[in-house]
Amino acid sequence: MPVRPSPSPEVHLAVALDGAGWHPAAWREPGADAARLFTAGYWASLVAEAEAGLLDFVTFEDSLGLQSTDPAGPDGRTDLVRGRLDAVLVAARVAPLSRHIGLVPSVVATHTEPFHVSKALATLDYVSRGRAGLRVQISERPDEAGHFGRRAAGGDIAGLYGEAADHVEVVRRLWDSWEDGAEIRDVATGRFVDRARLHYIDFEGPHFSVKGPSITPRPPQGLPPVSALASDAAGYPFLAGSADLAHVTPGNADEARAAALALPGAPHVFGELTVFLDDRPEDAERRLQRLDAAHGAAYTSDARIFAGTPQLLADLLLEWHGAGLTGFRLRPGVLAHDLPAITRGLVPELQRRGAFRRSYGAATLRGLLGLEHPANRYAAAGGAGPTRSGAAAAASAPATVAA
Amino acid sequence: MSKPLKQIHLAAHFPGVNNTTVWSDPAAGSHIEFDSFAHFARTAERAKFDFLFLAEGLRLREQGGEIYDLDVVGRPDTFTVLAALAAVTTHLGLTGTINSTFNEPYEVARQFASLDHLSDGRAAWNVVTSWDAFTGENFRRGGFLPREQRYERAREFLATAHELFDSWDGGELLADPVSGEFLRDARAGAFAHRGEQFDISGHFNVPRSPQGRPVVFQAGDSDEGREFAAAGADAIFGRYGTLDAGRAFYADVKGRLAKYGRTPDELKILPAATFVLGDTDDEARELAHEVRLKQVSGATAIKYLEHVWNRDLSGYDPDGPLPDVDPVPGENTVAQGRASVRTHRDPADVAREWRELAGARGLSIRELVIETTGRQTFVGSPLTVARAIDGLVQADAADGFILVPHLTPGGLDAFADTVVPLLQERGVFRREYTGPTLRDHLGLAAPRALAPAHH
Ligand SMILES: Cc1cc2nc3c(=O)[nH]c(=O)nc-3n(C[C@H](O)[C@H](O)[C@H](O)COP(=O)(O)O)c2cc1C
């Protein structure tokens, strides 16, 4: 049994936004709007659709290189979506146009500065009034390393995860480096802030050291939720140590149970599936085949590929929910088709079964996910800094963020 | 025959971490909450301003080893705020200050290209070059650049970013579902840059943005800074808002353009400017004095003196005379993270001058600081201010101004409502935007894409 407290009868639902959808031929589908992938209007309408479906959050994929079928670098293909906008900026751009849904951009920890990431996400939390999350990933790709030129390509996975764990640790310490209410505006003494409530984070690790405090005050959520995906168990120690939302890719209910059991400390374990949804199972199958034919190859994925009706998908999600998963991040095969199928087909089906909210009941992403406003580590410690530091400590102990 | 009237450019600098920002006023709002930025941006757009401007700092200021707590402390992330503001405005340019020392070109170029897409062509980049180890402590690399390399890195950073922006020429995106061609050319985004500061190659992954490149601003004042601007910037965020200093700076910088094959129109000079408006000039002057008293409290005056004296002066009475001790020479160890300290003249000279001034006029410490740090560029009735702005622009002391009100977020409202209509009546400021992009507002031509690096 997972030690996760009070499993909710309701599932959490997120949608992964990427290009025109997750099938490589998605951009060629009717209504895919592929010429508008680099406009704000395109992303705003997807987020509006997801919000109409009362989803917990959307994620925005990102990478620091061109999309490719080749892990070593660009594949030179001209028949697939190539190019993408910075995910944090896309999330910020849609934030004022939405009101309830969580906005979770992807960030590559391998090549970015935790100081910049921390203030960017804190600011996303301000502009969205508490709806920001951070999806953290590592990059092994040599071409992306070549875009920065500061380090040799790749490196061992454990090292990259260790560095990412430090990255997340620094980001969270910076979020905590201002106590809530540190801005006092005390006209009598002329002090704008109470500097006793601002803290140096003094992080020292094998990859970098960061002084702090943040330039941006503690975000509305205190600590915006951090999510990360591991398609196999090699990434589980990182998920266990660094993620509030651990994303896994089981193929069946047993694997879902195993993943949930393997990550007992994570407040949420989300299952990922790529979905093709139609009113009749054979329509969904046929559509997937048609997409495969247009693409010239069968679609494969690290996640289970589901083609069927919203009812059948609801059956599967509830079965995996019973096996210990708290929620799901669905990857629509074709955004133009499968996102509305989720919001207008799957969501009502789950609602009928009492397994999904009928209105937004919380104003923040943490609230939607049932996470309390977190205590500030520095305030709790009476101003003294945290004792552990560095990759080893960060990986061996669960992050101190669980509510 | 008289010259045709120059058109004035106006921009709005959000008053954040800045010693002119008055946070103690009951009308002062948050400098972090998005509502403040949205109000400020909407006011600027209502007034048909060219752009909104955000400054940047990457470490909280310190004085005497402690976080400085008398001014506004803290600010949001530049890119994130500007992207969100793109959602609540349609024409206003969005200028972000981004440092070239503590960033990498690939990432910054992506962020600006993304902002330009997401704002339909309204992005601008104020390239600043702070280089100190104090700030470096917040970054992976740690450390810093030697001062003399700050512009070497900035120049190469900007050149590299341009190579990245130009790695897509704009014709690659087909997205043709019938033929199945998403790209016309698999070489889209290919780049290779080998230099002293950066050795990078690969593929830039943001297609060419509406403006091709963001508009580029420069803000340093040294000779190298001016040269950097003349070589590659579209505009300068300057510090000389008075007639004589403005004209000298204007002539100097515009005179440097020819050797780079550029015309004077290709670089706009936009000094920072504060203002205080009143119904009458007298009322404005009174208000300005009240604002100065709020900007410079006794405690602030002592702290300011410490910047120059480079020593603890907390024992001195702000209402008393200047310290009789001399400044501590050498590197400033008292104040950290301030541009003013990085660029200050010889402290012994400053102290001598100030003592003379205080002696001659019988000024206390606080009065002296109010006197010497005054930056109220425009004080008067709306008509006085409109005339002054127009006069400076027509006299080639500036091409326009970047206005920093002392109040967040409503400090621009009165200017928009009273001064802008007068400038419009004079025929020197637009009544409507004539184009959608910031380049349009500034009258800058679209940049030519370099031939993509095929190799
Ligand atoms: C008007 C003006 C505004 C500036 N604003 C900023 C700023 O917001 N952030 C920053 O890091 N540096 C800022 N700077 C610092 C400059 O970018 C530059 O780093 C510094 O002036 C050193 O270069 P210099 O020796 O050429 O002046 C500003 C400088 C000037 C003159």
Query: What are the pLDDT digits (tens) for B410-428?
Result: 999 999 999 999 999 999 9
The answer to whether residues B342 and B132 touch, using CB atoms and an 8 Å cutoff, is: yes
B177 and A85 within 8 Å at the Cβ level: the answer is no
Predicted pLDDT of residue A3: 47
The arrangement of strands across the sheet holding B335-336 comes to: B66-67, B62-63, B335-336
Predicted pLDDT of residue B337: 80
Polymer length of chain A: 403
Predicted pLDDT of residue A8: 77
* CB proximity B42 to A under 8 Å: no
Q: Compute the distance between CA of residue A287 and CA of residue A393 in angstroms, rounded to an integer.
A: 48
Predicted pLDDT of residue A151: 73
Q: Compute the distance between CA of residue A133 and CA of residue B283 in angstroms, rounded to an integer.
A: 49
Predicted pLDDT of residue B448: 67
Q: What is the DSSP letter of B112?
A: H
Predicted pLDDT of residue A153: 64
**Considering chain A, what is the average pLDDT of its residues?**
92
B206 and A85 within 8 Å at the Cβ level: the answer is yes
Q: Compute the distance between CA of residue A150 and CA of residue A158 in angstroms, rounded to an integer.
A: 19
Nearest residue on chain B to A98, judged by CA atoms? B87
Polymer length of chain B: 455
Query: What are the pLDDT digits (tens) for B101-160?
Result: 999 999 999 999 999 999 999 999 999 998 899 999 999 988 788 888 999 999 999 999
* CB proximity A346 to B under 8 Å: no
Q: Compute the distance between CA of residue B89 and CA of residue B47 in angstroms, rounded to an integer.
A: 12
The answer to whether residues B402 and B300 touch, using CB atoms and an 8 Å cutoff, is: no
**Residue A339 phi/psi, 5° resolution?**
-65, -50
Predicted pLDDT of residue A381: 56
Q: How far is CA B371 from CA A177, A403, B56, B306, B368, in A?
A: 37, 53, 27, 16, 5
Q: Compute the distance between CA of residue B51 and CA of residue B405 in angstroms, rounded to an integer.
A: 15
Q: Strands, E, within A18-133: which ranges?
A: 57-60, 102-108
The partner residue sitting opposite A149, judged by closest CB among B141, B200, B203, is B200
Ligand 1 pocket mutation, candidates B158, B216, B221, criterion most atoms within 8 A of CB: B221
Query: What are the pLDDT digits (tens) for B288-347?
Result: 999 999 999 999 999 999 989 999 999 999 999 999 999 998 888 888 887 665 556 788
Residue B239 CA to ligand 1 centre (angstroms)? 10
Q: Compute the distance between CA of residue B106 and CA of residue B217 in angstroms, rounded to an integer.
A: 19
Query: What are the pLDDT digits (tens) for B155-179?
Result: 999 999 999 999 999 999 999 999 9
**Residue B125 phi/psi, 5° resolution?**
-125, 115
The partner residue sitting opposite B106, judged by closest CB among A40, A148, A183, is A148
The fraction of chain A above a pLDDT of 70, given in percent, is 92
The helix/strand/coil state of A304 is: strand
User: Averaged over A83-89, what is the pLDDT?
Assistant: 98
User: Averaged over B421-450, what is the pLDDT?
Assistant: 92
More confident residue, B331 or A86: A86
The answer to whether residues B123 and B82 touch, using CB atoms and an 8 Å cutoff, is: yes
A193 and B74 within 8 Å at the Cβ level: the answer is yes
User: Averaged over B12-17, what is the pLDDT?
Assistant: 96
Predicted pLDDT of residue A402: 30
Residues with C-beta less than 6 Å from any ligand 1 atom: B 55-57, 97, 99, 128-130, 219-222, 224-225, 237, 239, 272, 339, 342-343
Dig out the tokens for B109 from the structure: 């170029």
The answer to whether residues B105 and B200 touch, using CB atoms and an 8 Å cutoff, is: yes
Q: How far apart are the first and last CA of chain A?
A: 20
CA quadruple B156, B158, B160, B163: dihedral, nearest 10: -140
* CB proximity B107 to A under 8 Å: yes
Helix-strand-coil split of chain B, %, nearest 5: 40, 15, 45
Predicted pLDDT of residue A395: 38
On the CB side of B143, CA atoms within 13 Å amount to 4
Predicted pLDDT of residue B5: 94
| CA-based nearest residue to B9, from B409, B353, B393, B294 | B393
The partner residue sitting opposite A66, judged by closest CB among B114, B117, B205, is B205
- Greatest Cα pair distance, chain B, in angstroms, is 83
Dig out the tokens for A377 from the structure: 């580590």
Pairing label, strands B173-176, B181-183:
antiparallel
Q: How far is CA B50 from CA B60, B239, B412, B422, in A?
A: 30, 18, 14, 17
* CB proximity B278 to A under 8 Å: no
Show the CA angle centred on residue A55, arms to residues A53 and A61, nearest 5°. 115
Q: How far is CA B259 from CA A157, A167, B152, in A?
A: 51, 46, 19
Q: What letter represents residue B201's amino acid?
A: S
Q: Compute the distance between CA of residue B275 and CA of residue B266 in angstroms, rounded to an integer.
A: 27
